[in-house]
Structures are given as structure tokens and as C-alpha cells.
Amino acid sequence: MHDSHYIDGRWQPSHGTDRIDVVDAATEEVLATVPAGDADDANAAVAAARAAFPSWAATSPAERAGYLKRAAEALQLRQTEIATLISHEVGMPFAYSNVVQAGLPVQSFVSIADVALSFPFEEQIYNSLVVREPIGVVVAITPWNYPLHQIAAKVAPALAAGCTVVLKPSEVAPLNAYVLAEVFESIGLPPGVFNLVSGTGAGVGETLVAHPEVDMVSLTGSTVAGRRIGAVAAQTIKRVALELGGKSPLIVLDDADLVEAVSAGLNGCYLNSGQTCIALTRMIVPRARLAEVEAIAKAGAEAITVGDPFAPTTVLGPLVSATQRDRVVDYIDIGIAEGARLVTGGPTPPEGLDRGYYVRPTVFSDVTPDMAIVREEIFGPVLVIQPYDDEDEAVALANDSIYGLNAAVFAGDETRAIALARRIRAGQVQINDGAFNIYAPFGGYGQSGNGREFGKWGLEEFLETKSMQLP
């Protein structure tokens, strides 16, 4: 049980009297409780961050990078603990959590430390000295699906830039954030540089976003949440970075190895039980090969082992909560009601898994572009297959979305795949199952948000630019 927030370098009891239950996604049992902070807690955290900012901003990039690398080392020592914790919180199978949920945050801290050491914070341009300075106090609001990974994606570059941070993690999966606070305390990060306040959006988030002493808000969350934060932050003209929803397409070209392409597509759709903002939830395939694709997808989905996150054979664990499970099941029902053909899966829970928030891997075909399951982010293990007749139609289908976070192209000819990828309106495109690169920019077009995370682009988000005109 946690009863405090981490503010100004120490654990301080919450002013809020309510508690938030953190529930095990597989067993539906309460794992722990955290305090539901209130406006007083939020204000105290901002005050601590504001007071700490001048001295932290004055430290050298090398000194800040040193703290990040020590944090990475401390996180790595607790990797098994973190992976286990997040598998309980979110439901991702432990084998995946160990690599993704616990491994990627370590990489984030190391990679951003490396970027900070080589970043040109000052540059002479003709008679001007152009300097890049920290923007100030940053509020980071993070989601539950990849909780510590998304925290690290914001906190590491903000600290490297010289900013101070107030973190409000998702109330659904906040326990890993407490581990990070313990890590910062253990490495002697100066008081007020990092602050943690747990709570809801209404109880804590609104106060933080509206606060006049906050200079920037960085959110990863739903598009609905992004709209609200943008509106509130606009009252004080804050900088806002938003990483929001997606409805990502995978275009399979006619020269692709279908088994390889569809198998990679299923992995890209179902990772973390579909609770992934970049999930490849729309598979766009040659019409002449639609039946083959459906057969491969059906066999692949039905071969996936769904179950206990800690069973070694499990590929798909539960969804994070009853609310999320019910939302996904509702979408599956809507798809059936709209006339889409259910290839496999469906709204009933997997056999023998009545306890826990499980949903069967589901595939739809015979969909139309106006269907909700084609247009809206479901955030669960639901794939739709869309046929095309030529490449122009494939690109049109891929771009027929309010979102533009991610996409993928599979082809036998890599040059052809790259040429097609250039026509897709998305922040990143995977070519033939290309791997995630933590040094490359990550972010979306359209209503998938604005700004970029990771690499030098992630660092730049937290910097202001000043020009000094010299004689």
C-alpha cells in the first residue's frame, strides 16, 4: 500500500483522503492501493518543481546525463521486479514485459543520456549565438498500456534538457511509477527535480494542466483526453506535446510472402492484447488473395495461447480492466451488428477464462470504410481485413483515417515498399517488419497528436530557443 506522493525529494502524505485500488488484470484481485491526490498535492508538486528549476537548469548536460545513466542502472537491477509488477497491473505476459515494459525504459534513459552529451545546446550562426534552454516545469501525464516506458519517454528527455518534472501516472497502473521515484531517491536526484502525484485526471490532472507555473504538458493518452488538455493548457499558452490514438494500417503488396506478412500483422495487431497505440489493426490486402489472407489470419489467431500472464506458453494476457474489456466486447458486438463477417474470435471470453479481463483474438472481414470497427480505435485484440484492387486504392484506404500514428508495408521488393510508405500519412512506417528504434522520432500526424518522442527529437520538445545578437 502506498499512502504518499513523492514531492520535493521526500515522501509526503496525500492531502486527498480517497484511495485508488490497483487491480490485477488476470485475477481481478486488488494488488495495492495508492492515494487519490487532490489540488493541494498538485500545487505542492508544482511549487517544488518551480523552486528546483533554476539550479537544475544550470547543471551541465554531462551532469544531467550522469543522473540518467545511474537511473538506468538502478532500473536494470530491478528489471524482474518491474516486469512482474507490470504484468500484474496491465496483463502483458511476463516474457514480453521483461523485454518491453522493463527493458525499454532502461534504453530510454541510456539513449537520451547519450543524445544529451552530443546535442548542440549552443550554436554560432553568423553574428548570433543561438542557445537551446530548458522550457521550465513540465507536467507528464502517462497511460497504462506501457506505463513505465511512456513515463521514461517523457521524464528522461525533460530531465536531460534541464527541466523539472511533475508526473501524474495512470491511476490504472501507477505502481511502476513508484519504483521510478524510489530509483531517483536512491541515486540522489536533487529535491524537486522529479515529483510524483498519483490520482485521477479530474482530481490532479486538471489542476496540473491549468497551473500558471507549469510551462509544458506532455500527454500520452486518448484523443479525447488530448482535446481536453489542449483546451485547458491554451488558457495559459503552454506548450503541449500529444501522443494520442491510432488506427494503423498494414498494406500487404501482391509480391509479399503472405504467411510472413499476415503473421507479422497479427503480432503487430495483438501485442499487449491490442492495447498498443501503434497496433496494426487494419490489414489492407490484394483482393485476389483475400481468401488466402483470411485463412492464414484465422489459423494464426486461433493458434494464439490466451491465458495467465505468468504461464510460459501464454502469448495474449488479459486486458487491463473490466472497463476496457467491456469496451472491446462492445465494439465486437457493434461490428457484427454492422454486418462485418466474423472470421474468428468474438465477444464471448476464451474457454476456461471466466475470471480476468480476457478477450479472444478476433478477426473481421467484409468490412466497409464507414464501420465503427474500421474507423475507431478499439484498443483490444480486434483486426479488420480490407481488400484493394491497386496500389492507389491501398494508399487511399490506409490514409482514410483521422489518425496517422503508425503504418506498415510488407512487400517482396523493399524499394517498392519504401516508395509506397512515402505516400502514407503517418509518423512512422514499418517496412517488412522493421524493428522499433528508440533513437528515431516517434509521433503522429492528424489527430494522433503533435510533437515527437525519442532521440534528439524527443529532447528538442523540452527546449526553448534563444537568439543572442552579437556585435
pLDDT at position 261 is 98
Longest dimension (CA), the chain: 77
Q: What is the mean pLDDT of the chain?
A: 97
Cell of 422: 512515402
| Cell numbers standing for residue 38 | 487532490
* Grid cell of 297 as nine digits: 489470419
Single-letter residue type at 207: T
% of the chain exceeding 70 in pLDDT: 100
Decide if 243 is catalytic. yes
Position 153 pLDDT exceeds 90: yes
Q: Which domains does the chain have, with CATH numbers?
A: 4-244+448-469 (3.40.605.10), 249-437 (3.40.309.10)
Taking the CA atoms of the chain, what radius of gyration do you get in angstroms? Answer: 22
Q: Which residue from 79, 86, 109 is spatially nearest to 194, judged by alpha carbons? A: 109
Q: How many CA atoms lie within 13 A of 163 on its CB side?
A: 30
- Where in 104-261 does DSSP place strands (E)? 122-125, 128-134, 137-141, 164-168, 194-196, 216-220, 239-243, 249-252
Look at residue 467 in the predicted model and tell me its pLDDT. 98
Encode 240-269: b = buried (16+ Cβ within 10 Å), e = exposed.
Answer: bbbbbbbbbbbbbbbebebeebbbbbbebb
Q: How far is residue 121 from each of residues 132, 137, 458, measured CA to CA in Å?
A: 5, 19, 14
Helix, strand, coil distribution of the chain in percent, nearest 5? 40, 20, 35
Can you count the helices (H) and strands (E) in the chain? 16, 22
Q: Establish how many alpha carbons lie within 13 A of residue 429's alpha carbon, considering only the half-sphere containing its beta carbon.
A: 23
Question: Which three cell numbers, joined as nine digits, stand for 280?
Answer: 496494426
Mean pLDDT across 133-147: 98
pLDDT given at position 1: 79
Residues 169/178, Cβ–Cβ less than 8 Å: no
| Residue range 27-53: mean pLDDT, rounded | 98
Please tell me the distance from the alpha carbon of residue 115 to that of residue 174, in angstroms, as a whole number.
28
HSE-CB at 372 with a 13 A cutoff on CA atoms is: 14
Helix 175-186 to helix 147-161 angle (10° resolution) is 40
pTM over 0.95: yes
Residue 277 DSSP one-character state: T
Q: Which of 243, 294, 453, 461 is catalytic?
A: 243
Q: Which of 277, 294, 377, 453 is catalytic?
A: 277
DSSP string, 112-154: HHHHHHH--SEEEETTEEEEEEE--EEEEE--SSSHHHHHHHH
> What value does the mean pLDDT take over residues 89-94?
98
Give residue-wise pLDDT tens across range 187-215.
999 999 999 999 999 999 999 999 999 99
Please write the tens of the pLDDT for every residue from 375-429: 999 999 999 999 999 999 999 999 999 999 999 999 999 999 999 999 999 999 9
